Amino acid sequence: MWQILENSWKIDELRSRILFTLAMVAVFRLGCQIPTPGVNPDEVAKLFEGQQGVLGFLNMFSGGALERFSVFSLGIAPYINASIIMQLLVYVVPYLEKLQKEEGAEGRKKINMYTKYGTIFLGAIQALGIATWLESMPGVVLPVMSGWKFMAMAVITLSAGTAFIMWLGEQMTNKGIGNGMSLLITVGILATFPAAIVETLQVTDFTSIPDVGRLLSIVAICLVVVASIVYIQDGVRKIPIQHARRNAGGKSQGGLKSFIPLRVNMAGVIPIIFASSIMMFPPIIFQYFQGKFPQEEWLVTATIWFGHTHYFHLGLYALLIIFFTYFYTAIQLNPTEMAENLKKYGGFIPGIRAGRKTADFIDRIVTRITLCGALFLAIVSLIPPLMSKYMNVTFYFGGTSLLIVVSVMLDTVRQMESYMVTRHYEGFMKS
C-alpha cells in the first residue's frame, strides 16, 4: 500500500487529485467546527455526553458536527436517505424506471437531480426535527433566538450545509480520487476515533486485571474485524468461461478460457448505511411521542425495544442488512443479461447450456455468495452494540465504523492502482 502511495505521488495528475481531495476534506472538517447561530454550544455538547444510541450514531456520521450543532450537523444522512428512497422508487414509478433503463446517461442525470431535490427536502425535515428537540431542552437555545426565529435559522442553515456537503462530495468524485460521499463518511468516522480512544482509556483501570483484559479484548476484536473485512472484501467467486473455437480465413480463433469474477460482498457498505439510516427513525419518533404522552405504556415499551442494545432492535437491524444486501446486489447484477451477453459473444460456462440455464446457474451462485456476504455484514454490524452492552465501550470501535473505513480505503487504493495501470506507469508495474 505504501509503495502504491509513493508511486502515485510521482504522477502529476494523480498527485493533483490527491491534493484536491485533501483540500476538500479540510473544508469539510472546517465546516464541522462552525456552530449554527442561536445555540449554546456547551449545553448542546452536554446532551451528547455518553450517547451511544441514535444520537451517537448520527454524531459519528457527521464527524462530531452534531454535538456542536454546526452548519454540517446533518452530514450526508439526508443524501443517503434520499438515495434509498429514489432507488426504491425507480422500481415502483414507471417514469423513473424508463429514465434509468432507456435514456442512458441523460436519464441517470435526471434521477441524480431528483435525488438532490429529495436531499434538500429531507434535510429541511431533519433540521426541523432536531431544532424542535433542542428547543424543548432548557438552556440550549439562546433567549434572543427562541421560537420561530430559531426554527427558521436552523432549517435554512442546516439545509444549506447539506447542499454544500453534496457539492463537496461531487467535486471530490469528479476532480479528486475515490468516491467523494464515501470518503466524507470515512473522514467523519475517523474524526471521532481519537475521542473514543481517550474515553475508553479513561474508564480503564490499568491496575485491574479485568480492565486490562477488557482493553486487550477490544484491541483483539478490532484486529480480527479488520482482517476479516480485508479478507471478505477481496473474496471472489470465479465462474469459468469457455469461448467457442471457430475457423476464420484458415486460422483458428477463440477457445480462450476466462472467468466471471463475482465478489462475495458486491454491495459493499451500502446495506449497512441503508439499514442504519432506517433504524434511526423509530427511536426518535417513539421518544418524541413518549415526551408528549408519558402516560402511554406502549410508547415506553416501544422506546425500550428500539434501544440500540435491545435484542429486538438488533434482530431487526440484522434482517434489514440482509435484505438490503440482496436488494442492492440485484440492482447491480442481472444474471439474465449476463447470460445473454455470454451467448452473444460466443462464451459459455462448461457443462451448462447457454441461455436460461446459464442465467439460472449464475443466479444460484450469486444467491449463495450474497448470503455469505449478508451474514458477514450483519455479524460485523452487531459487534458495536454488543461491545457497548457487555464490554462498556463506545460503539465507535465496532464493526460498522471499521467496515466503512477499511472498505472505503481499499476501494480508494484500488482506484489509484487502476489509474496507474491504465497509464502504464513503469514504476508501479515493476513494484
Give the Cβ contact number of residue 381 at 10 Å.
Answer: 23
Give the per-residue pLDDT at 52.
55
Domain layout of the chain by residue ranges: 32-176
Q: Which residues of 397-412 are buried (b: 16+ CB within 10 A; e: fewer)?
A: bbbbbbbbbbbbbbbb
Backbone angles phi, psi at 425, to 5 degrees: -70, 115
DSSP character for 263?
Answer: E
Give the distance between the most distant pair of CA atoms in the chain: 90
Based on its alpha-carbon atoms, the radius of gyration of the chain, rounded to whole angstroms, reads 24
Query: Which of 167, 223, 262, 229 has the alpha carbon at shortest distance from 411?
Result: 229
> Do 253 and 246 contact (CB within 8 A), yes or no?
yes
Where on the phi/psi map is residue 241: left (φ > 0), alpha (ψ -120 to 50), or beta?
beta
The DSSP result for 69-104, as a single string, is TBTTTTTTHHHHHHHHHHHHHHTT-HHHHHHHHHSH
Supply the pTM of this predicted model. Answer: 0.76
Predicted local distance difference test score (pLDDT) of residue 430: 47
Report the pLDDT value the prediction gives residue 423, as an integer from 0 to 100: 61
Q: N- to C-terminal Cα distance for the chain?
A: 11
Task: Evaluate whether 200 touches 208 at the Cβ level (below 8 Å).
Answer: no
Cβ-based neighbours of 396, under 8 Å, separated by 6 or more: 60, 189, 192, 193, 196, 384
What does each of the 431 residues of the chain score in pLDDT, given as a tens digit? 566 666 666 677 788 888 898 999 999 988 888 888 888 877 777 777 655 556 666 677 777 777 788 888 888 878 877 887 887 788 778 888 787 777 777 888 888 889 889 999 988 888 888 888 777 777 778 777 777 788 888 889 989 999 999 899 889 888 888 888 888 888 888 887 777 777 777 767 677 777 788 788 888 888 888 888 888 877 888 888 887 665 555 554 555 677 888 888 888 777 887 787 777 778 777 776 776 777 778 877 887 888 777 888 889 989 999 998 888 888 778 888 888 888 887 778 888 888 888 888 888 998 999 998 899 888 888 887 787 777 766 555 556 777 778 888 888 887 877 777 766 544 444 44
pLDDT value of position 322:
92
Strand partners, 58: none
Write out the three cell numbers for 393.
465501550
